[in-house]
Amino acid sequence: MSWLFIGSIIPSFLIAWLLSYAMRRYARGWGLVDLRSNEPPRSDREGRGPIPTGGGIAIWAAVVLPLAAGTVLLGFLPAHLTTPQSGELGSLWNFVGPHLAGLERQSGKLWILLGCGTLLMLLGLFDDRYNLDWRLRILFQTLVACLMVWQGWQLSFFVDLPLVTAAASIVWIVGLINTFNMLDNMDGLAAGVAAIVVGILTAVILTAPHSIRNGPQLFVAGLLLVLFGALLGFLWHNVPPAKLFMGDAGSYFIGFCIATATISATFAGEGLPRHAILAPLCVLAIPIYDTLTVIWIRCREGRSPFAGDTSHISHRLVDLGLSRRGAVTLLYLATAASGLGAFSLHLVNTQGAILVLLGIGGLLWLVATLELTARRRRQQRPTEPSEQQPE
């Protein structure tokens, strides 16, 4: 199992780390900059001069290039290797060998996933450069989600209604794409939360047995570990004070990969309790909560849900007196705390699952109570100039 971690995380980390240096140098020349950074400071990413937004390219390349190399290598392994009897090479072969047939079967689906993810990365890249209309972005995201559903990526929640599951799958994919886009509003926030989410999802997938083969789901876990390494490599440049942003190109790609990975993985079914299907919701509770509350606040105030502002959970925590670094750290801890509940869902009965969900609900209630205090403080302030910016 150690080979899975080494072979997945280290190459993607190094690629993202190195390419991020290149993006810091060249992205400005390509017009990939956060123009809001020149405006009066309203968040930790503003008031510091133009910051390049090419980090999404580095994250995308750090996922695609190792998987491309692995696919090419896969074509040579059976023909050119024999099984060593001992040593490190023998250990590697003993791990990889039994899974070669499965890897070959899954490679086609993998490249459909990465191809659609690349389309979304390019959409985000154009949005970073030209500030596309939000309706065009949602339409394109929906078309890509429909393509994925047509190719077989559909949620399974024990409802034998194909149209319902297809619609829910489209909403899930488009929703998570925009969830991580909206979460990208402070240095290190979106990438750090995504890394925590991906890490916990991987741990759940590897520890919970597959409902049919009674073994860990190595293929989905491998994809998530590659994404985990890419996120860590990018975070090196994105921690406060950030020198590089992921931009929409990165947030779209990350949200899409997480959405499709949760659809591909098996959390419940034969041999596993049905309530274990809620594991992804536990892990993603904080990002989803942020998205839903931001949309609610904006719609309540008669504004577009996609008009950027400072109504995010991170900004509301800053209104309480936390530093921006402190707000980001608190959201890291809240994400990890809610995600830990996912570990036990496949081990407990219905009553135990209810207790887990109540614990996560209590955490969200605590966050909501803190936010209500921040909102009241904001309403008591004098009216501020409009802070709307497209997300």
Q: How far apart are CA 298 and CA 332, in angstroms?
A: 24
**CA 318 → CA 11, 218, 246, distances in Å?**
36, 40, 22
- Give all strands (DSSP E) within the chain, no chain letters: 33-34, 51-52, 307-308, 389-390
pLDDT tier at 4 (50, 70, 90 boundaries)?
confident
User: Which letter does DSSP use for residue 278 in this model?
Assistant: G
- For the segment 275-296, the average pLDDT, to the nearest whole number, is 91
pLDDT tier at 43 (50, 70, 90 boundaries)?
very low
Q: How far apart are CA 250 and CA 120, in angstroms?
A: 9
pTM across the whole model: 0.86
What's the domain count of the chain?
Answer: 1
- For the segment 147-171, the average pLDDT, to the nearest whole number, is 89
* Look-up of token digits 């496949």: 346
pLDDT tier at 299 (50, 70, 90 boundaries)?
confident
pLDDT at 127: 93
Identify residue 201 by its one-letter amino acid code. Answer: L
Q: Is the pLDDT of residue 95 over 60?
A: no
pLDDT at 223: 93
Q: Domain range spanning residue 87?
A: 2-390
- For the segment 40-61, the average pLDDT, to the nearest whole number, is 73
pLDDT at 297: 84
pLDDT at 161: 84
If one counts every other C-beta atom within 10 angstroms of the C-beta of residue 332, the result is 17
* Look-up of token digits 């008031």: 47
Render 122-172 in DSSP notation, one character per residue: HHHHHHHHH---HHHHHHHHHHHHHHHHHTT----SS---HHHHHHHHHHH
Q: Is the pLDDT of residue 15 over 90?
A: yes
